[in-house]
Structure 1
Amino acid sequence: MRVVATAGHVDHGKSALVRALTGGEPDRLEEERRRGLSIELGYAWTTLPGAGEVAFVDVPGHERFITTTLAGLGPVPAVLFVVAADDPWMPQAAEHLAALDALGVDRGVLAVTRADLADPAPARERALDQLSVTSLAGARAVAVSARTGDGLAELREALVEMLATLPQPSAEVPVRLWVDRSFTMPGAGTVVTGTLPAGRVRPGDGLTSLRGGHRVRVVHSLGRAVEEVTGTARVALNLSGDVERGDVLVTPGAWEHTEVLDVRLGPTRLGRGDPPRRPLLHVGSAALPVHHRPLAEGLARLTVERPLPLRVGDRLLLRDPGTRRLWAVTVLDPAPPPLRRRGAARLRAAALADADGRADLGAEVARRGLVEAELLTRIGVPADGAAPGVVRAGGWLLSTARLAEAAREAAAVVREHARAAPLEPALTLPALAERLGLPGPEVAAAVVHDPLRVEAGRVVEAAAACVPAEVVAAVEALSAHLDAEPFAAPTAAELEALGLVPKVLAAAARAGLVLRPAPGIVLLADAADRAVEVLATLPGPFSASEARQALRTSRRVALPLLVHLDRTGRTRRLPDDRRHLT
């Protein structure tokens, strides 16, 4: 299906043209038909050869109904722009055109109506001149009369030609449906309508709004029940729970709902300079007051009165109801950092200076430093691929700059902990993460670089420069004790006499100054290398008894030392319990 919105000044024949194209009646209210003008959004549809099913969203043209008009234009990718041959260029045409330009709608057809009442050429030229400096520049223009039918065939041809250029949205993306009409049907419950820009909806699907969860009972499209509908499409959903016009239904867990967003503001032909402090924000079918805080020229922070599911690159509108001025809004960051310190707004503006609303993983991670991958996905920045300058740590992404900064902080924290409590165990990864303000041990592990290393789940410094003097003295005493017999490990009493009490011994082991092949067995750090040198003199393979005699030590020491050599790949144990060097 294709969806097209009408636009143009009141009483220029938008509804009449939709009737002529579809045979349907877009004006649903008795008052609309009595007064001859649209008050609410109207809908009608037809089939155009070459384009398939086409639904028209007919919007009011009167200035008093501009909020309703923008609700109809917001989610629609194409427009039928209508001007009357017997009227000059009118204010509401200018306002609608400014809104379409701000929203980035760049597919459309210009229809010059009432061509049976006046020469359409002057109106056509005036309108094309106005369109030429907007996103609708180059739109095809057709003169038409809804009363006589003249030009309708050419208009259908122009619509088919235009619709063929529309990109086909994906059916596999999360749903975001702005509700533009809500009512209750006896025996059915809540029914809502809206334009589905992308995604897929089926009966039985679960959707959420700020009012809670909703189960889709029935899906209607173009007046009939269907098993599924994919965007772009006009849909009506019968669902559980209460939903109001202006609400938005989304795929659960797929969107970040935000009350604060950083945006780029663009001027329109109806709005230049800064917006007021409390303008209206139009997004989808919603219109709500916001607080506007300038960050720099063309950059602002908007605070909304209720959370909205927004993504990077969304196009919105700001409107000053008092002056009817409009500004284009491009969402740069729907999950920005707070501005708490003096000068924070200036720094934030500098960070956003090059942002243009396009999803860029590398740039987004660089701005944030550290960010959860799922958050980026929810705000419309695909986070499952690689990007220059991005490091992945579990479910988190770090910029290389933030990684380097955290690595420096980690080295300082580990060194300070060793200095302040030299005989206490080293920090675990969770403890280091807490000290650094990192979200978890997987991120702490990613920032551990030289001179740090992880041993048995604890973070230690590879260099011995931070080893306490007490530990150095005890290891020197051990070295003197083992000078003549390097494999004659001291007894527990001898270790205590040497000053290698448990805390000191643990610190020496963390610093890599001693080797402990088994509990209670303490040798110098190079004992394994020296043992290999001795065992190399034996004819291989050799037995454990032969190794013990060559090392001039006891079975208490020899057997754990041989197991250590096996484990580290220096020796290989044979089935007959003998060994040879590798």
Structure 2
Amino acid sequence: MYVVATAGHVDHGKSTLVRALTGMEPDRWAEERRRGLTIDLGFAWTELRPGMTVAFVDVPGHERFVPNMLAGIGPVPAVLFVVAADEGWMPQSAEHLAALHALDVRHGLLVITRSDLADPAPAMEHARAEIARTSLGEIDAVAVSAPAGTGMSELQVALERLLSRIPQPDHHAPVRLWIDRSFTIKGSGTVVTGTLAAGRIRIGDELEVASLGQIARVRSLQSLGHPMSEVDSVARVAVNVRGIERDELRRGDALLTPERFRSTQVIDVRVHGDPVASLPKSVMLHIGSAAVSVRVRPLGADTARLTLAQPLPLRIGDRGLLRNPGAHHVSGGATVLDVAPPALARRRAAATRAAVLTELDGRADEHSELHRRRIARREDLERMGVTVTSRPVAGDWLVEESVWRQLRSELPRVVADWLRDHPLEPGPPVDVVRQGLHLPDRSLVHALVTPPLAVQAGRVVRTSQQALPAPIVRALQRIRTDLEANPFAAPPTELLTSLGLGPRELAAAARVGALVRIADGVVLLPDSIQHAAKTLGTLPQPFTVSDARKALGTTRRVAVPLLELLDRKGVTQRLPDDRRRIRGSRP
């Protein structure tokens, strides 16, 4: 299916032309038919030839209904531009053309109607000259008289030619169905209609309602009045949704493939049209079928930041239209450059941002986005419209290659700086390193750490032998000399304190293997455990604490915690009568 919108001045015969082409009445409301003008969007369709069906979105031409017109042409790829031969180019002809140019519509056909009432040549020449200066460029033109039927066969041939030039849609793209109508059908519930510009919708699909953040299930589908099990783009489609009430929806809402779009209220755009400096502080942004008031903050000569009155599901490269409704003026088109722009809180941040935007062209390029953002989640980039091919470095996190190399080189410095201020600690906590490297997630620290660094017990530590401060090394040497002479005569607390070996210093010495702590303030040499096991193995089994104390030549202060440590290590076994034996020994 192909979808084409009409455009042109009020009462130039758009609806009459659609009626003649399709045999259907595009005006939906009795008021429209009574007054003879289109007030809201109308829809009709026909089969030009087998395999080529075209649906028309008939838009109003009256100035008062321009927002309705913009809702109709927003999602549509091609236009049937209508000018009456007897009236020629008119104010709404110019505004509709400005809107099409702002939206960058590139496929169209000019139809001169009422050619039986006046020579169509002057109107055709004038209209083609106006249209040629816009995104539509040089387009075909046909003169017709719908009531008389003249020129209609030529129009059909020209339509077929136009449709054959329209690019094929991406059926595998995520769905974003901009809603242009919502209503209730008794026995079915809520129904919404729109132009499916890309993707595919099937019965049973779950679609997110952008404004609500809720999931709606597709109960049934219709396209061109026929029930369907699935509908491919491009198509006019009616979707019966379950789980959403009709009064919760409005024109400008969208049904989305879940988790594939980002709803945003702040975007950076390039403006195609009036100079940014001349824009009012507040204008209307028309995009898809939505119309939202936005605040304008100029950044560069043709770039601006727009703050939306309500969030919309937008992607990089989306094209919208800026209109000043008070002046009845189309200010220009707006290409979305960024849907997640940085805050502009610092001095000269706006000027810096303007320089960045100068380099952007509205294409969702992975390399460009990652280069600017440095670190980003894969899902976040995909929601912006970026096709991601890079492999995440950790979890869902992507890091620009040069940034990753820089982080690897900075990691040892961050660890060394922290250890210099905390010489008795094994290493900085992972979260301290994360903050030092300005990383958004702890998993990135784990991915960065490579030998000789490692993550142990929530800290980034050196796996090679760690050096202790010189005063501690000298104090340990004194302790080592005493313990080598008497291995189980643990130095008294008073001596440790006088040597500057408090709990933190002893913990640091134990971490590097210089000592073994068997209790608070009780330390021995590392080989004392093996030595004790060997000595106790020579005793008659089982033995008492007193037997062990005498064999080791120590006090209960050392013997009791040493035996408890041997119990925990499985060297000794404590019996019900509080005696012990070496495991594996015979009574």
Closer/same/farther in 2, CA of residues 266 and 466 from structure 1, 3 Å limit: farther
Pairing 1:303–2:307 present = yes
Partner Cα separation in structure 1 for residue 507 and residue 167 of structure 2: 66
Residues 481-538 of structure 1, C-alpha deviation per residue, up to 9 Å, x if partnerless? 99xxxxx999676899999999668757978x9899xx99859xxxxxxxxxxxxxxx
Rounded Cα–Cα distance in structure 2 between residues aligned with 1:292 and 1:78: 29
Q: 1:41-190, aligned counterparts within 5 Å?
A: 41-49=41-49, 52-190=52-190
1:359 is matched with which residue? 364
Question: What residue identity is the alignment partner of 2:106?
Answer: D
Name 2:225's counterpart in structure 1: 223
Offset of residue 272 of structure 1: 7.3
Q: What's the secondary structure of 1:393's corresponding residue?
A: coil
1:414 partner amino acid = V
**Are residues 475 and 108 of structure 1, via their aligned partners in 2, closer, same or farther at CA, if it must alter by over 3 Å?**
farther
Distance 1:445 1:370 in 2: 15
After TM superposition, the structure 1 = structure 2 runs for residues 496-575 of structure 1, keeping only pairs within 5 Å, are 507=508
- The correspondence for 2:343, drawn from 335, 338, 347, is 338
Helix, strand or coil: the match of 2:393? Answer: strand
Q: What residue in structure 1 maps to residue 285 of structure 2?
A: 281
Contact 2:276–2:302 under 8 Å retained in 1:
no
**1:479 and 1:394, CA in 2 relative to 1: closer, same or farther beyond 3 A?**
farther
Structure 1 residue identity aligned to 2:372: R
Query: CA 1:383–1:473 in 2, change beyond 3 Å: closer, same or farther?
Result: farther
Counterpart Cα distance in 2 of 1:520 and 1:22: 98
**How many Å apart are 1:16 and its aligned residue?**
0.8
1:429 Cα offset (Å)? 3.1
User: How far does residue 248 in structure 1 lie from its aligned partner after superposition?
Assistant: 1.4
Shift of 1:460: 3.2
Per-residue deviation at 1:254? 1.6
The answer to whether the 8 A contact 2:217-2:241 is kept is yes
Q: 1:48 to 1:293 in 2, by over 3 A?
A: same
Alignment CA distance shift 1:169-1:274 (3 Å):
same
Trace 1:88-487 onto structure 2 (pairs within 5 A).
88-209=88-209, 210-211=211-212, 212-240=214-242, 241-242=245-246, 243-267=249-273, 274-323=278-327, 324-385=329-390, 392-403=393-404, 406-407=407-408, 410-448=411-449, 454=455, 458-460=459-461, 467-470=468-471, 472-473=473-474
Question: Contact 2:427 / 2:462 at 8 angstroms: preserved in 1?
Answer: no
CA positional deviation for 1:112:
1.3
Paired amino acid for 2:27: D
Deviation (angstroms), 1:383: 2.1
Q: 2:443 and 2:52 mapped to 1: Cα distance?
A: 52
Residues 521 and 315 from structure 1, CA distance in 2 versus in 1: closer, same or farther, beyond 3 angstroms? farther
C-alpha contact (below 8 Å) 2:277/2:298 kept by paired residues = no
Q: TM-score, normalised by structure 2?
A: 0.79
Structure 2 CA distance, aligned partners of 1:256 and 1:322?
31
CA shift at 1:273, angstroms? 5.2
CA positional deviation for 1:443:
1.0
Residue type of the partner of 1:396?
Answer: W
C-alpha distance in 1 between matches for 2:127 and 2:284: 28
In 2, are the aligned partners of 1:359 and 1:381 still within 8 Å (CA)? yes
Q: Which is worse superposed, 245-254 or 473-482?
A: 473-482
Q: Percentage identity across aligned positions?
A: 52
Instruction: State whether residues 3 and 76 of structure 1, in contact with CA within 8 Å, keep that contact through their aligned partners in structure 2.
Output: yes
Aligned partner of 1:540 in structure 2 is: none
CA shift in 2, pair 1:339/1:495, >3 Å: farther
State the alpha-carbon separation in 2 of the partners of residues 294 and 463 from structure 1: 56
Measured in 2, the distance between the counterparts of 1:13 and 1:143 equals 12
Distance of 1:233 and 1:352 partners within structure 2: 35
> Per-residue deviation at 1:203?
2.2
Instruction: Give the CA deviation at 1:353.
Output: 1.7
Inter-partner Cα distance in structure 1 for 2:133 and 2:238:
36
- Separation in 2, partners of 1:143, 1:495: 109
Task: Give, in whole Å, the separation in 2 of the partners of 1:101 and 1:522.
Answer: 82
2:541 paired residue number: none
Task: Kindly provide the CA deviation profile for residues 233-255 of structure 1, in whole angstroms up to 9, marking residues without a partner as x.
Answer: 10111223232222112122221
* Residues 495 and 81 of structure 1, relative CA distance in 2, 3 Å threshold: farther
What value does the CA root-mean-square deviation take over the aligned residues?
Answer: 3.2
Go from structure 1 to structure 2 and tell me whether the alpha carbon gap of 1:480 and 1:162 turns closer, same or farther (over 3 Å shift). farther
Q: Deviations over 1:116-150 (max 9, x none)?
A: 22221111111111111211112111112111212
Please tell me whether the aligned partners of residues 142 and 151 of structure 2 are also in contact (alpha carbons under 8 angstroms).
Answer: yes
- CA shift for structure 1 position 31: 1.5
**SS at 2:56 equivalent:** strand
Deviation at 1:165, TM superposition (A): 1.9
Matches of 1:184 and 1:265, distance apart in 2: 39
Counterpart secondary structure, 2:112: strand
More displaced 10-residue stretch of structure 1: 55-64 or 250-259: 250-259
* Higher mean C-alpha deviation, range 36-45 or range 197-206: 197-206
Shift of the alpha carbon at 1:416? 3.0
Partners in 2 of 1:107 and 1:218 — Cα distance? 32
Q: What is the alpha-carbon distance in structure 1 between the residues aligned to residue 191 and residue 346 of structure 2?
A: 47
**AA in 2 matched with 1:238:** N
Once the two structures are TM-superposed, the CA of residue 317 in structure 1 deviates from its matched residue by 0.7
One-letter amino acid of the structure 1 residue matched with residue 416 of structure 2: R
Q: Name 2:561's counterpart in structure 1.
A: none
The 2-side partners of 1:17 and 1:495 are apart by 105
With over 3 angstroms needed to count, the CA separation of the structure-2 counterparts of 1:502 and 1:80, relative to structure 1, is: same
**1:233 is matched by which residue type in structure 2?**
A
Q: 1:468 to 1:408 in 2, by over 3 A?
A: farther
Q: CA deviation at 1:41?
A: 0.3
Aligned to 2:546: none
Contact 1:195 1:235 in 2 (8 A): yes
Displacement of 1:111 in angstroms is 1.0
Contact 1:471–1:507 (8 Å) recurs in 2: no
CA distance change for structure 1 residues 104 and 467 in 2, over 3 Å: closer, same or farther? farther
**Gaps spanning 5+ residues in structure 2: where?**
517-522, 528-587
1:9 Cα offset (Å): 0.9
Flag the 1:235–1:429 CA change in 2: closer, same or farther, 3 A: same
Where structure 1 has 5 or more consecutive residues not aligned to the other structure, the ranges are 483-487, 524-582
Would the aligned equivalents of 2:269 and 2:304 in 1 still touch at CA under 8 Å?
A: yes
Say which is worse superposed, 61-70 or 214-223, in terms of deviation: 214-223
Determine the C-alpha separation between the residues in 2 that align with 1:150 and 1:490.
119
Q: How many Å separate the matches in 2 of 1:495 and 1:451?
A: 34
